[in-house]
Structure 1
């Protein structure tokens, strides 16, 4: 049902998709839908769970200790951009609304992973520890979402991971230990 909803979201907004359409596309009954989801909005929640699972798989053994702080954080956001690009433009456009409060949900795996990277690099003396790792994480995510939103505004007409890399490389300089 989730995959069916994603396919339908390529042509119209989740708000305009009827639960019956999702079920028809998936070849299941409406009752089956309600056994998995309470509302259509839970499809978005599922997206975020899958993103967290993706990052769990990529980072479960820890991050690349051999690289420096800049390289490790830039790589993290390249992975983030690639994940978004793989979901495809029309799907991502539906996430980037002021009504989507899932972006600011605290304690998600993706956030904890980045916080861990930043905290480790602060303890190693590579990043400024005057600012909390929570603050730096939020700051970087706000910037990264801005890059993705800009990609949406430009109809995906640029390489998202490449632009994310360039943007985060410049931004991370502000958090380096002087």
Structure 2
């Protein structure tokens, strides 16, 4: 029951944040949307900020849920890496610009960027980059960790650009071409 209530609070908050933005949603709005009291809200979450932190923590699910499928898709390290990155893109863009904007602002205020710094993601992506370098698929000689960090920077930068623009859809192709260029993928069209 408690998990169901927490889930409903999170789901409702995400929906409201997506529609109105984090700053324009009150705890009263969330409680009314779920049909609970403030006491019930505070039993599950300390504050509205906790809902965004929980949103970050759930980011790891995109990797946990899709990781096996990502690794099984191909023997090609570029395809594996790009499929894994797409899981992060899907997670980040799925709730819309308003919620993502709130998440990015929240992250900026705390100096985090936690949704792309989870150790499992870091390890997976650096390993895929290393293996891709070993077989000649990625020709950039920088360390896998440096290339991961640069990929993360490009990812966050393109998310910021999308959130601050009037463009309705995230430009995945631009992001893909930029990452392929960074890694010096031997044939990025494959």
The TM tier, using the shorter chain, reads 0.7 to 0.9
Runs of 5+ in structure 2 lacking a partner? 1-8
Matched, 1:112 2:120: no
What's the counterpart of residue 16 of structure 1? 24
Q: TM-score, normalised by structure 1?
A: 0.80
CA contact (8 A) 2:18 2:99 kept: yes
Give the corresponding residue for 1:154: 165
Question: 1:30 matched to which residue of 2?
Answer: 38
- Contact 1:148–1:160 (CA<8 Å) still a contact in 2? no
Matching residue of 2:74 = 66
The alignment's TM-score, normalised by the length of structure 2, stands at: 0.75
Point out the more displaced range, 18-27 or 99-108. Answer: 99-108
* 1:135 paired residue number: 146
CA RMSD of aligned residues (A): 2.9
Summarize the Cα distance change of 1:5–1:165 in structure 2 as closer, same or farther, 3 Å threshold.
Answer: same
Q: Where does the alignment leave 5 or more consecutive residues of structure 1 unmatched?
A: none
Whether 1:49 aligns to 2:57 is: yes
Task: Assess if the C-alpha contact under 8 Å between 1:78 and 1:162 holds in 2.
Answer: no
Q: In structure 2, what is the Cα distance between the partners aligned to 1:60 and 1:102?
A: 27
The 1:95–1:145 alpha-carbon spacing in structure 2 relative to 1, beyond 3 Å, is same
Tell me which of 92, 102, 121 is aligned to 1:94: 102
Paired residues, what number?
176
CA distance change for structure 1 residues 81 and 156 in 2, over 3 Å: closer, same or farther?
farther
Alignment of 1:69-88 (within 5 A): 69-88=77-96
Give how far 1:2 is off: 0.6
**Deviation (angstroms), 1:103:** 0.7
RCO higher in structure (CA 8 A, sep ≥6): 1
Q: Residues 4 and 123 from structure 1, CA distance in 2 versus in 1: closer, same or farther, beyond 3 angstroms?
A: same
CA separation of 1:82/1:169 partners in 2, compared to 1, >3 Å: closer, same or farther?
same
Q: 1:102 to 1:34 in 2, by over 3 A?
A: farther
